[in-house]
Amino acid sequence: MDTPQVRLPAPEKPAKAQSHETNGNSTINTSVEVDMGGTQELTEAAPAGDSILPDAQPEPESVPEPPTPAKKIAASTFFQSLISPIVEFIVGDGENETLLKAHQNLLLESPFLKQKIDEFDSSSPRRIEFPSEDVEAFSCFLEYQYTHNYSVQIESNESDDGTDETGDILLRHARIYTLAEKLGLPKLKTLAHDKIHSVNSTPIGELTYARYVYTHTNAADINIRKPVASYWAARGHLLRHDLKDEFRLLCNEVPEFSYDVLSLMMDRKEKEKTSDLDTNVRSSARKRPRQEK
């Protein structure tokens, strides 16, 4: 018996891609064989089990906190002062003795008071005595520590136009000045000195003020003494005629005052004399006469 035979179809030829190119009036057929039998891998598959992470984002830069405003700092400092312990002051003596109180932190600016406060202990009262100080001046000092300013009480001795008739207003500012010197507060001294120069007083008031300045301030403090001496050196006629009795008494009590006033007066006289001498020399100067030939 013959073995059966199976006829297999002939394999198909790969398809031909045709294109038509036109060259002038003739058409040329071109064929390109393209192998469609395989698969072209365009991308590489990601391995199984791997995950693609998103791009890491940069961490935001830390923004510095804005500085605390000065007003806020000042308010915080003032609040801390208000919750600090209370310090008592016994100011004056005898019938004029007065009890004043203030918060401790507002007093530490004064080196004098800071030393006193550092000496406090738990067994003793938090109290400082000032028997020789003026109560009003000390209260003005405390007012300044809370408000950075102070005001004095104006009484009937001031005229309608604001003139200090007796010198009492000048004395009040002067007492604050000397208290600030004792407590070591230069800014309060400057403020008191400025207020002194803003007071319009009379000659008798100025002389009363001069007596206080020369009996309660240091001789080296020319900032307050020199203006007093200059004021009276320019008004010698008042001391000689209108206030001669008061001036004589003050010279006996405070020789430094009369010395400073007379020194400034003599300095001015010497300058005037030198100026007159220079004027006379310039006016008498002549050209040398020509020599005759």
Whether residue 221 is contained in a domain is answered as yes
Number of separate domains in the chain: 1
Whether residue 13 is contained in a domain is answered as no
pTM, two decimal places: 0.67
Q: 174, 152 in Cβ contact below 8 A? A: no
In the DSSP assignment, the letter for residue 239 is I
What is the predicted pLDDT for the residue at 230?
93
Whether residue 209 is contained in a domain is answered as yes
CB burial string 39-71: b at 16+ within 10 A, e below: eeeeeeeeeeeeeeeeeeeeeeeeeeeeeeeee
What is the predicted pLDDT for the residue at 144?
97
What is the predicted pLDDT for the residue at 109?
94
Expressed as residue numbers, the domain containing 235 is 204-275
Whether residue 208 is contained in a domain is answered as yes
Low-confidence ranges of the chain (pLDDT < 70): 1-75, 155-161, 275-293
Would you list the DSSP string of 105-160?
GGTTTSHHHHHHHHT--TTS-SEEEETTS-HHHHHHHHHHHHHS---PPP-TTB-T
Query: What is the bridge-based pairing of β-strands 127-130 and 86-91?
Result: parallel
Whether residue 174 is contained in a domain is answered as no
What is the predicted pLDDT for the residue at 264?
92
